[in-house]
Structure 1
Amino acid sequence: MSGFINFTSFWKHKSKADMRSPKADLKMSLDECVEALDLFLRNRFEEALTTLRSKAKDSMYHSLTYATILEMQAMMTFEPEDIINAGNTMKEAQTICQKFRKKTSVADSLNNLMNRHAAEQFTEEEMHAEVCYAECLLQRAALTFLQDENMISFIKGSIKIRNSYQTYKELLNIVQSSNYTKGENYSHFEGGVQLGIGAFNLTISLLPTRILRLLEFVGFSGNKEYGLEQLQEGASTENFRALLCTMLLLCYHTFMSFVLGTGEGDVDDAEHLLLPFLQRYPKGAIFLFFAGRIEEIRGNIDAAILRFEDGKWHISMRIYCVKKMRGPRKVPNMKQKIAGKSLPTEKFAIRKARRYLSQNPVKLPVPALEMMYIWNGYAVIGKHQDLTEGMLVTLNEAERTLESAPETEFLVDDQCLVKLLKGLCLKHLGKHLEAEQCFRWIHTKEQMIKYDHYLIPNSLLELGLLCMKTGKNDEAITFLEKAKQNYKNYSMESRTHFRIQAALLKVKSHTQNGSYSLPSTP
Structure 2
Amino acid sequence: MNGSDTEEDQDQDDFHDACETYDMPTDMTLEKAVEEAQLAINFFFNNKFDEAKNLMKPYCHSSMYHAVGFSVFSFLEAMLTFEHRHIVNAGEALKNSLSVCNRYRKKNTIGESLGKIVKKTNYEQYTEEEAHAELCHAECLLLKAMLTFMEDETLSSFIKAGIKIRSCYNSYKECHQVLLNRSWGKSVTKPHFESGVKMGIGTFNLMISLLPTRVIKLLEFIGFSGNKQLGIQDLQKGYAMQGLRQILCVMILLAYHLIVVYVLSHQEGDLKLCEKIITDQLKLYPQGVWFLFFKGRLEFMKGNLNASIEWYTKSWKSQEIWPQFHHFCFWELLWVNCFKMDWKQAGVFATNLLEGSRWSRTMYSYQKAIILLMSSDEPTKSEKVVIQNLMKDVPKYKQRIAGKSLPMEKFAIKKAERYFAQNETLILPVIELMFLWNLFKLLKKNFKMAENVLKLIEKALRNLTYMVPLNKYDKDNRALLMLLKGACLRQMASPLQALECLEHAISLQKEILEDAYIVPYAIVELALLEWDAGNKEKAILALEDAKYDFVFVKVAVQIDHKFFCF
- Scaled by the length of structure 2, what TM-score is found? 0.76
Give, in whole Å, the separation in 2 of the partners of 1:321 and 1:405: 36
Query: Does residue 20 in structure 1 map to residue 26 in structure 2?
Result: yes
Shift in Å, 1:71: 4.2
- Among 355, 372, 379, the alignment partner of 2:418 is 355
- Among 368, 371, 388, the alignment partner of 2:433 is 371
Give % identity.
Answer: 37
Query: Does residue 65 in structure 1 map to residue 60 in structure 2?
Result: no
Counterpart of 1:7?
none
Structure 1 residues 488-499: aligned runs within 5 Å: 488-499=551-562
When residues 491 and 483 of structure 1 are mapped into structure 2, their CA distance, relative to the original with a 3 A threshold, is same
CA contact (8 A) 2:483 2:501 kept: yes
Aligned AA (2:513): K
Counterpart of 1:200?
204
Counterpart of 1:301?
305
Shift in Å, 1:490: 3.3
Greater RCO, CA 8 A, separation 6+: 1
- Among 272, 278, 302, the alignment partner of 1:274 is 278
Give, in whole Å, the separation in 1 of the partners of 2:89 and 2:456: 42
CA contact (8 A) 1:432 1:466 kept: yes
Query: Does residue 500 in structure 1 map to residue 533 in structure 2?
Result: no
Give, in whole Å, the separation in 2 of the partners of 1:148 and 1:300: 40
Aligned AA (1:320): L
- Among 495, 509, 521, the alignment partner of 1:446 is 509
Shift in Å, 1:484: 2.3
When residues 91 and 416 of structure 1 are mapped into structure 2, their CA distance, relative to the original with a 3 A threshold, is farther
Counterpart of 1:46?
50
For structure 1, the residue ranges without an aligned partner over 5 or more in a row are 1-17, 504-522
Give, in whole Å, the separation in 2 of the partners of 1:237 and 1:195: 11
When residues 282 and 83 of structure 1 are mapped into structure 2, their CA distance, relative to the original with a 3 A threshold, is same
CA contact (8 A) 1:43 1:284 kept: yes
Give, in whole Å, the separation in 2 of the partners of 1:344 and 1:81: 25
Query: Does residue 320 in structure 1 map to residue 353 in structure 2?
Result: yes
Shift in Å, 1:157: 8.3
Counterpart of 2:372?
none
When residues 410 and 73 of structure 1 are mapped into structure 2, their CA distance, relative to the original with a 3 A threshold, is farther
- Among 524, 539, 547, the alignment partner of 1:476 is 539
When residues 364 and 160 of structure 1 are mapped into structure 2, their CA distance, relative to the original with a 3 A threshold, is same
Residue by residue, what CA displacement relative to the aligned partner does 1:296-345 show, whole Å, maximum 9, x if unpaired? Answer: 11111111110011111586342127753153222233456789876553
CA contact (8 A) 1:36 1:52 kept: yes
- Among 294, 316, 325, the alignment partner of 1:290 is 294
Give, in whole Å, the separation in 1 of the partners of 2:455 and 2:147: 40
Give, in whole Å, the separation in 1 of the partners of 2:154 and 2:226: 18
CA contact (8 A) 1:422 1:438 kept: yes
Give, in whole Å, the separation in 1 of the partners of 2:544 and 2:125: 50
Give, in whole Å, the separation in 2 of the partners of 1:445 and 1:133: 56
CA contact (8 A) 2:153 2:402 kept: no
Give, in whole Å, the separation in 2 of the partners of 1:126 and 1:334: 47
When residues 384 and 188 of structure 1 are mapped into structure 2, their CA distance, relative to the original with a 3 A threshold, is same
Give, in whole Å, the separation in 1 of the partners of 2:498 and 2:303: 21
Counterpart of 1:512?
none
When residues 188 and 178 of structure 1 are mapped into structure 2, their CA distance, relative to the original with a 3 A threshold, is closer
Query: Does residue 396 in structure 1 map to residue 429 in structure 2?
Result: no
When residues 291 and 131 of structure 1 are mapped into structure 2, their CA distance, relative to the original with a 3 A threshold, is same
When residues 157 and 412 of structure 1 are mapped into structure 2, their CA distance, relative to the original with a 3 A threshold, is farther
Tell me the SS of whatever aligns to 2:226.
coil
When residues 450 and 51 of structure 1 are mapped into structure 2, their CA distance, relative to the original with a 3 A threshold, is farther
CA contact (8 A) 1:187 1:238 kept: yes
Paired residues in the alignment total: 480
Counterpart of 1:329?
392
When residues 147 and 367 of structure 1 are mapped into structure 2, their CA distance, relative to the original with a 3 A threshold, is farther
- Among 195, 201, 214, the alignment partner of 1:191 is 195
Aligned AA (2:26): R
CA contact (8 A) 1:94 1:136 kept: yes
Structure 1 residues 139-288: aligned runs within 5 Å: 139-141=143-145, 154=158, 158-177=162-181, 183-288=187-292
When residues 227 and 182 of structure 1 are mapped into structure 2, their CA distance, relative to the original with a 3 A threshold, is farther
Shift in Å, 1:84: 4.1
CA contact (8 A) 2:546 2:559 kept: no
Please say which of residues 398-407 and 222-231 is displaced more in the overlay.
Answer: 398-407
Tell me the SS of whatever aligns to 2:118.
coil
Residue by residue, what CA displacement relative to the aligned partner does 1:33-63 show, whole Å, maximum 9, x if unpaired? Answer: 2222211111122232233233334332223
Shift in Å, 1:172: 1.3
When residues 397 and 112 of structure 1 are mapped into structure 2, their CA distance, relative to the original with a 3 A threshold, is same
Shift in Å, 1:291: 0.4
Aligned AA (2:457): L
Tell me the SS of whatever aligns to 1:265.
coil
Tell me the SS of whatever aligns to 2:286.
coil
Shift in Å, 1:155: 7.5
Question: Greater Rg, structure 1 or structure 2?
Answer: 2
Counterpart of 2:131?
127
- Cα RMSD, aligned residues only: 3.4
When residues 130 and 398 of structure 1 are mapped into structure 2, their CA distance, relative to the original with a 3 A threshold, is same
Aligned AA (2:91): N
Aligned AA (1:97): C
Tell me the SS of whatever aligns to 2:193.
helix
- Among 91, 114, 118, the alignment partner of 1:88 is 91
Counterpart of 2:60?
56
Shift in Å, 1:165: 1.7
Aligned AA (2:123): A
Shift in Å, 1:120: 2.6
Shift in Å, 1:502: 1.1
Give, in whole Å, the separation in 2 of the partners of 1:189 and 1:458: 45
CA contact (8 A) 1:155 1:161 kept: no
Shift in Å, 1:433: 1.1
For structure 2, the residue ranges without an aligned partner over 5 or more in a row are 1-23, 317-325, 332-348, 356-363, 370-389
Counterpart of 2:446?
384
Residue by residue, what CA displacement relative to the aligned partner does 1:208-253 show, whole Å, maximum 9, x if unpaired? Answer: 1111121122222221111111101111111111111000000111
Residue by residue, what CA displacement relative to the aligned partner does 1:3-42 show, whole Å, maximum 9, x if unpaired? Answer: xxxxxxxxxxxxxxx9737xx5222222222222211111
Give, in whole Å, the separation in 1 of the partners of 2:536 and 2:154: 29
Residue by residue, what CA displacement relative to the aligned partner does 1:114-149 show, whole Å, maximum 9, x if unpaired? Answer: 343432333222211211121223344566889999
Aligned AA (1:377): L
